[in-house]
Each structure stands twice: as C-alpha cells, then as structure tokens.
Amino acid sequence: MIDTHSHIYGPEFADDIDEVISRAQEAGVEQILLPNINAESVEPMLNLWKRYPHYMRPMMGLHPEDVREDWKDVLDHMRPLLEAPDHPYVAVGEVGLDLYWDQTYRKEQLQAFDAQVQWALRFNLPLAIHCRRAHAEMVALLEAYRSEPGLRGVFHCFGGNAEEAAQLLTFPGFVLGIGGIVTFKKSTLPQVLSQVPLSRIVVETDAPYMAPVPHRGKRNESAFVAEVVKMLATIYHTTPKKVSEATNCNTKRIFGCQERHFLNTFS
C-alpha cells in the first residue's frame, strides 16, 4: 500500500512520529507521500523526509485555505524549491480551491491555483488537488490546460457523486484519491465507485484528518489506509492484496513516470 496523501509532519504527531511510522510499516504501507500546506509547513515536512528519505517523499504547494493577499510572495518562495535540479518533490500539492468556509479570497485562490497548475506543467510534475464546494470552478480552470500532454494528478479526498466522478475522469491523466470517507456508514462513495475503474484510483489517509471506520473520530495516521483498502476490496469484489497492487501501480504511473529518483524507491 502507498499512502498518497498524509500530513504526518504536523504538530499532531510531534510526540510519537516514530511509532506512527512503525505502525504504518507493520500495516504494510510501503511509501508515504507528504503534501505541503503553506510556507510554515515546508521546514517540518522536509525535516521528516530527511529522517526517512527512502520511505516518504514531499510535495510542494500552497493549500487553498492558506491563500491570502500575500499568495504571490509565498509562491515566490516556493517556486525556487521546484527549480532546483535535484529537488525531492514528486508533485505540486496540496493545491486547489476551497470555497466551503469562506469566499473572501476566491479570486486569489483561482489565481494561485492557476499559477501552480502551470508549475506542474513546467516541471513535469503531477498535481495533488484539493477541491471543496468549487467543483465547477476547478473543472473550468483545468479545461484551459486539457490539451497539455503532461497534465496529470490526483483529485484528493474525492467524495462526490457519480456525475462529478465521470466529469473528473474525462481528464485522462488523473485519478481519484480515496480515503476514509469510503468507510463511513452513510457514505454514497461505494455506489459511486462501482462505476469507476480500479485503474483510476489511488488510496490515501489525509492524516491526521478523516480517520476511517473503525477509527473515526480519532487522529488519523498512515497505517489506517489499510481500512480503506479493505473497503475497496469489498466494493470491487476482490482481495486487499489485489487492490494494493492495482493502486500501487496507479500511484507509480501518476507520480513516478518521469521522476527517476522517486520511481527507484518503489520495489
């Protein structure tokens, strides 16, 4: 299993990060990908990666909820990190749009997202896209880049309906990131995924958020991705091993195809 989206560099894990990683390894998690959030999260993320350089890989991006008036300054700080010839970043993320709580910075979110989509194309990296209450806006923005051959990535934490899933999957280089939501009792995601090929899915935790059943309400961690895999095995009428093999293959295709230093870490 590969946890394609985990914030275990955050303060929630300051007291037991080594135990968290040990539990992930014991659960069968082979790799952990670390999406960045803002300027302040870069250092703790990189510090964790340096401690476990063969087990996890960082991303670089500005989360939409952290977009403010100074978003250009923040991106000016991040861009050189991606320009460095031997950088460790495997994606531009976590980026996107979030209009759920507040639309004060709607225009700035759109501008920052557009700039980071251009980064992904320029540096030949996938996108890790966060989208909440902004599906139409996100699709409209990505449409402008549909013909670009390098456009690819993950629609992180997908929890939408069948129509939204079908629309997102018209972007051939993208997959859906499936996490703990799929295990929730009232989730409609199992029915939606019955119409989505397993070849278009990767698994994730979004730790420390969105812990799956039977851990719902607790701090999420990468080991819990195993519960997501179990649920997907039920949905697709197969075994957890087959789900892991398929989603690992999908992860390598999205994140590893042009990243020699990353691809070589998969075994």
Give one DSSP letter per residue of 78-93, joined into a string.
HHHHHHSTT----SEE
pLDDT of residue 262: 46
pLDDT of residue 129: 98
pLDDT of residue 95: 98
On the question of pLDDT at 152 being above 70, the answer is yes
Among candidates 208, 222, 212, which has minimal Cα distance to 11?
208
pLDDT of residue 258: 42
Percent of the chain with pLDDT over 90: 95
pLDDT band at 15 (very low <50, low <70, confident <90, very high): very high
CB atoms within 10 A of CB 101: 9
pLDDT of residue 44: 98
Q: Please name the residues in contact with 166: beta carbons below 8 A apart, sequence gap of 6 or more.
A: 195
Radius of gyration (C-alpha) of the chain in whole angstroms? 17
pLDDT, average across residues 198-226: 98
Say which range, 9-13, 19-23, 212-216, 261-265, has the weakest mean pLDDT: 261-265
Q: 69 phi and psi, to 5 degrees?
A: -60, -25
pLDDT in tens, 213-247: 999 999 999 999 999 999 999 999 999 999 999 99
pLDDT of residue 267: 42
- Report the chain's mean pLDDT, rounded to a whole number: 95
Helix orientation angle between 240-251 and 225-235, rounded to the nearest 10 degrees = 110
On the question of pLDDT at 194 being above 70, the answer is yes
pLDDT in tens, 51-79: 999 999 999 999 999 999 999 999 999 99
pLDDT of residue 256: 82
On the question of pLDDT at 146 being above 70, the answer is yes
pLDDT in tens, 87-135: 999 999 999 999 998 899 999 999 999 999 999 999 999 999 999 999 9
Percent of the chain with pLDDT over 70: 96
